[in-house]
Homo-oligomer: A and B are copies of this chain.
Amino acid sequence: MTLTFEDFKPGPFGSFGPHHVTREEILAFAAEFDPQPMHLDEEAARRSMLGGLAGSGWHLCSIMMRMMFDGFIGRTASMGSPGVSELRWLAPLRPGDDLMLDVEIMEARVSRSRPGTGIVTVRNTSRNAKGQALCEMVSPLMVARRAGAAAEQGGR
């Protein structure tokens, strides 16, 4: 059941969720990591650009990581990621939001330096129940190739 590099082809990969986010989770994350008033205080949030209590952008990213894990990373021969090449917060995460995560494969190629490893570049977009995009990120993932694939094909 484990997904390897060979299972990732450019194009739409899947849509995962819903993942429910509570007010308590938003407040707990903000208290620990991002205690800015717009993430903790309803009144201050109403006066901010966010127009009401909104989760930290880093909370949303962390939730997207969990949705990726539940959606496919948890059953993928994943070896981690060197970073994120693009990360945009587009609309506020609200208490009670039910999120979906759309995953698109932008590119899948074998690593030049490590022929047993594939680099799968994904674009992840989280959306609320209205379909509004909240956050978009593009990230390379390192995924192991199927056993023997490197020897068979000599890289590609």
Contacts and interface: CB of A to CB of B under 8 A. Distances in A.
A124 to B, nearest CB: 12
Contacts of A50: 80
A73 B36 CA distance: 8
Contacts of A80: 36, 38, 48-50, 57, 89
Contacts of A150: none
Contacts of A57: 80-81, 83
Contacts of A106: none
A154 interface: no
In the complex, the count of this chain's copies comes to: 2
A35 B74 CA distance: 8
B69 A65 contact: no
Given A36-B80, A83-B87, 10 more contacts: A29-B62, A33-B65, A34-B65, A35-B66, A35-B69, A35-B74, A49-B80, A50-B80, A57-B83, A58-B58
* 4 smallest beta-carbon distances between A and B, as pairs: A83-B88, A33-B62, A84-B87, A58-B62
